[in-house]
Amino acid sequence: MVTETRLHPDDLIAPLFVREGIDEARPIDSLPGQFQHSRASLREEVRQLKDLGVPSVILFGVPERKDAHGSEAWNPDGIVQLALQDLRDDHGDDLVLCADLCVDEYTDHGHCGVLDGSGQPDNDATLELYEQIAVAQAKAGADIVAPSGMMDGQVFAIREALDEEGFDDIAILAYAAKYATALYGPFRDAVDVTIADGGDRKGYQQDIANAREAMEEIREDIAEGADIVMVKPAMPYLDVIARARAEVDIPIAAYHVSGEYAMVHAGAERGWLDLEAVAFEHTLAIKRAGADLILTYFARLLAEGMQ
């Protein structure tokens, strides 16, 4: 009767990986219980998640071919576009389809944009690619596009591109405060990404020491037209989530990332942690801090526990 915060499947978005050119799901060793899905296995996984009450999924693609520009990201026959069409055919408007909007999964260098002469993403040239991806995802059936590259001006560019093509009802979930964390390793395994020449993304992702800067990024994305803003990762940045909740009125998402998930599994495998209890406590804490939507690889486990 006096519980202040409650967790419900409606709070959850399940991140899912779909790989081109495979016939069955492949386990991801560093993400126990997660898979690189075929188109067919993805459809079955999403059907089960929907039956458990999870209202939304976000798709990440693993293409057969990568190039310097990540051109498969906006190919109408690219793996995410085809998967979006499959899921729209299966579920109509009964499922919220979200697509990660970036090129790192599709480039041969692993960065989030086309590179300049110094080997870093060319911000303005990259925005042109993001515009193409947004339109391709919208045409394929996405309800929400989620730009994750942390390029300056990405939300404004995507909003303009979508509106010009008549997709003014497609929402933008902006990775507004995406930190250059050490917790993304298992995700990069999942999407087969290696950053070229031992590089990193500290030049365009958030400094892990900075909270005020994160709030500036959040405010800028809202001013550019973001419908939802995200803080990523979640648990080490609960202070940023809480601060954002106190300052802004639009929905806030938080991404409980691959490293957070993998650590809990590793502890549980050694018998040191209760997997389900810790998964629930982590996710409840994220909601208590102020997140309205939680992207988590624990979505299935949590939804099953809430039945």
Q: Which residues are catalytic?
A: 178, 232
How is residue 118 written in tokens? 């110094």
How far apart (Å, rounded) are the C-alpha atoms in residues 129 and 146? Answer: 14
SS3 (DSSP) at 145 = strand
How far apart (Å, rounded) are the C-alpha atoms in residues 53 and 69? Answer: 37
Location of structure tokens 């693993």: 62
The full DSSP string for 66-113 is -BSS-GGGS-TTSHHHHHHHHHHHHHTTSSEEEEEE-STTTBSS--SS
SS3 (DSSP) at 152 = coil
Whether the CB-CB separation of 177 and 230 falls below 8 Å is answered with yes
How far apart (Å, rounded) are the C-alpha atoms in residues 91 and 188? Answer: 29
Task: Give the containing element (helix H, strand E) for 280.
Answer: helix 275-289
- End-to-end CA distance of the chain: give it in Å, rounded: 20
- β-sheet bridge partners, residue 67: 107
- β-sheet bridge partners, residue 253: 230, 293
For residue 306, give the amino acid letter: M
SS3 (DSSP) at 176 = strand
How far apart (Å, rounded) are the C-alpha atoms in residues 30 and 274? Answer: 19
- β-pairing verdict for 252-256 and 293-296: parallel
How is residue 280 written in tokens? 């629930």
